[in-house]
């Protein structure tokens, strides 16, 4: 390695990590050696996994290998899991290799905290999930068997402290649509369990008219909903809440709570008790000045407390914007310049409902806001599909950033 060049390590190969690496290369050119460490070889467009669960998309079409695109830009790719971060030595370590850094950007996402609720999780529990291709395929195979029956009970929901509840909303409405197309919706019960204080809260006190839109949609679709739901355990055929109520199912999918990556939790003072990194608006750690973070790994307090805890979501769009801001601030640190605020950012979300879709945009994402857009229509489904295809191409070729609606 050339000792005169800055050593930058990016941890994570999803929305945050890849976009941060591309932005760092654009900002710093050849004055930096950039290494991306990711436990996944492929970038997965996670927002489309609910389509895969319904069998409407091939999961393989939602993935792009990331080694070649990074290599074309002179960015080293390491397929490994980070096991240790040593801020004192400024080193990141995998099982077999150690990487020194002048700056590190953590975009490692989070671990799925299935252990927080007994019986949760698709491998050792009874409720499916949707945060990897493997999980989506397991859910697809189980759901298809239930939908082939003449009748059934389906429970979709989220655990306390869950932050990414959007896919649960999509799935319950998409299943409703699929059953209607099969002419047997009237023989299936659909139940939605959410820790939110009301439908459409989304962990951010709602987005404009989104609560009313979602509540009306659930009423039209006859989807039973339970708000302030705190799941106590999942059994083989039922979800049990803390109030003692039980919801029987033939198929269940529950969004778990997140917790910070293990290597983050092991660094004293880096993160909050849940393992999420506490940062300044400039995306830099409050304790370690050369550690930056973006996306799900970041601690963002909710706008206000709720009876059952609901975490603030970090969408793919938010993660990308945070990652680009963090990369620009690293460049400003090395080259001189003004750092930008990476937390007061907008976010756009498209939630599919099977036969229609919701377009939600807020600037900034957390209230109070300067601008809000809430719309519904079939056109939004096609917009989500177009965005998925463009985004996969963007990862392959580092195309210009698209920001629908702003």
Per-residue pLDDT of the chain (406 residues; tens, 9 = 90+): 455 899 999 999 999 999 999 999 999 999 999 999 999 999 999 999 999 999 999 999 999 999 999 999 999 999 999 999 999 999 999 999 999 999 999 999 999 999 999 999 998 899 999 999 999 999 999 999 999 999 999 999 999 999 999 999 999 999 999 999 999 999 999 999 999 999 999 999 999 999 999 999 999 999 999 999 999 999 999 999 999 999 999 999 999 999 999 999 999 999 999 999 999 999 999 999 999 999 999 999 999 999 999 999 999 999 999 999 999 999 999 999 999 999 999 999 999 999 999 999 999 999 999 999 999 999 999 999 999 999 999 999 988 776 654 4
Residue whose C-alpha is closest to residue 41's, from 68, 72, 9, 16: 68
Q: Where are the domains of the chain?
A: 6-112+258-345, 116-256+348-385
Set 204, 349, 366, 392: catalytic member = 349
Using alpha carbons, list the distances in angstroms from residue 249 to 120, 127, 238: 14, 10, 5
Distance CA 49, CA 161 (A): 21
Contact between residue 252 and residue 243 where contact means Cβ atoms under 8 Å apart: no
Domains 6-112+258-345 and 116-256+348-385 share a fold: yes
What's the burial of 378, exposed, middle or buried (CB within 10 Å: 0-12/13-18/19+)? exposed
Answer yes or no: 161 catalytic.
Answer: no
C-alpha distance from residue 207 to each of 54, 200, 204, 347, 363 (Å):
27, 8, 7, 11, 10
The model carries a pTM of 0.95
Question: Order of strands, edge to edge, in the sheet holding 238-241?
Answer: 231-234, 238-241, 246-248
Specify whether 90 is catalytic: no
Which CATH architecture group holds 6-112+258-345? 3-Layer(bba) Sandwich (3.50)
Which residue among 164, 213, 271, 331 is the active-site one?
A: 164
Which CATH topology does 116-256+348-385 take?
A: FAD/NAD(P)-binding domain (3.50.50)
């Amino acid at each position: 390695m050339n000792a005169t060049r800055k050593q930058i390590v990016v941890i994570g190969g999803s929305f945050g990590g890849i976009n941060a690496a591309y932005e760092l290369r654009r900002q710093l050119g050849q004055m930096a050696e950039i290494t991306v460490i990711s436990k996944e070889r492929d970038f997965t467009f996670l927002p489309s996994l609910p389509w895969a669960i319904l069998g409407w998309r091939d999961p393989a079409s939602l993935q792009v290998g990331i080694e070649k695109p990074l290599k074309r830009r002179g960015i080293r790719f390491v397929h490994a899991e980070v096991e240790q971060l040593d801020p004192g030595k400024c080193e990141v370590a995998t099982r077999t290799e150690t990487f020194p850094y002048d700056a590190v950007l953590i975009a490692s996402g989070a671990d799925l905290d299935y252990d927080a609720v007994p019986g949760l999780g698709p491998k050792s529990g009874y409720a499916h999930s949707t945060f990897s291709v493997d999980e989506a395929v397991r859910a697809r195979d189980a759901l298809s068997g239930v939908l082939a029956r003449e009748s059934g009970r389906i429970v979709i929901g989220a655990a306390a402290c869950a932050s990414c509840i959007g896919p649960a909303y999509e799935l319950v409405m998409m299943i409703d649509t699929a059953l209607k197309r099969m002419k047997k919706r009237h023989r299936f019960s659909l139940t939605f369990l959410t820790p939110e204080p009301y439908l459409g809260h989304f962990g951010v006190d709602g987005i404009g008219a989104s609560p009313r839109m979602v509540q009306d949609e659930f009423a039209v679709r006859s989807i039973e909903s339970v708000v302030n739901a705190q799941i106590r355990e999942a059994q083989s055929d039922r979800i049990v809440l803390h109030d003692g109520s039980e919801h029987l199912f033939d198929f269940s999918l529950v969004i778990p709570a997140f917790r910070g990556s293990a290597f983050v939790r092991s660094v004293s003072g880096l993160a909050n008790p849940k393992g999420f990194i506490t940062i300044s608006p400039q995306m830099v750690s409050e304790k370690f000045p050369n550690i930056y973070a973006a996306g799900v790994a970041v601690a963002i307090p909710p706008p206000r407390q709720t009876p059952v805890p609901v975490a603030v979501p970090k969408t793919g769009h938010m993660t990308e914007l945070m990652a680009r801001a963090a990369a620009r601030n690293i460049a400003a640190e090395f080259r001189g310049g003004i750092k930008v605020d990476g937390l007061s950012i907008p976010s756009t979300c498209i939630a599919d409902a099977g036969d229609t879709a919701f377009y939600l945009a807020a600037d900034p994402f957390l209230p109070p806001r300067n601008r809000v857009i809430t719309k519904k229509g079939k056109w939004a489904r096609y917009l989500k599909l177009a965005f998925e295809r463009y985004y996969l191409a963007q990862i392959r070729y580092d195309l210009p950033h698209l920001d629908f609606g702003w």
